[in-house]
């Protein structure tokens, strides 16, 4: 970060197995642990926002049908180049 825009710091405690997996994942991706954790937090926040949006929509429109859920999974897979979601 540039000097005029310093990053905020967090001190967190994680289970030993999670620590080892985070360090390994960051290394595998060529990132610092801080960069990897920032990316993971962004993905988690995006997922949380999406789940909230779906819950709001379902509260107004009714639950999604099995057909609608299946169609959404196909759209996600197509957007991921055929890769199944959540892999």
CA dist 56 to 6, 28, 63, 67, 72, Å? 36, 37, 10, 19, 17
Tally of domains within the chain: 1
- Domain containing 24: what range? 16-62
Take residue 40 and report the two structure tokens written for it: 């993971």
- Within a domain: residue 52? yes
CB 35 within 8 A of CB 43: no
pLDDT band at 85 (very low <50, low <70, confident <90, very high): low
User: Where is pLDDT greater, at 13 or 80?
Assistant: 13
- Within a domain: residue 67? no
Query: Smallest Cα–Cα separation from 38: which of 76, 67, 12, 72?
Result: 12
Q: What is the pLDDT of residues 5-56, one digit of tens each?
A: 788 999 999 999 999 999 999 999 999 999 999 999 999 999 999 999 999 9
Take residue 56 and report the two structure tokens written for it: 């709001």
| 86 pLDDT above the threshold of 90 | no
- Within a domain: residue 83? no
């Amino acid at each position: 970060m540039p000097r005029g825009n310093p990053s905020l710091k967090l001190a967190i405690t994680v289970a030993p197995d999670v620590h080892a997996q985070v360090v390994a994942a960051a290394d595998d991706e060529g990132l610092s642990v801080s960069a990897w954790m920032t990316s993971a937090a962004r993905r988690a926040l995006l997922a949380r926002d999406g789940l909230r949006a779906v819950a709001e929509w379902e509260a107004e429109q009714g639950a999604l049908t099995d057909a609608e859920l299946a169609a959404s999974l196909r759209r996600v897979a197509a957007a991921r180049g055929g890769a199944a979601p959540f892999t």
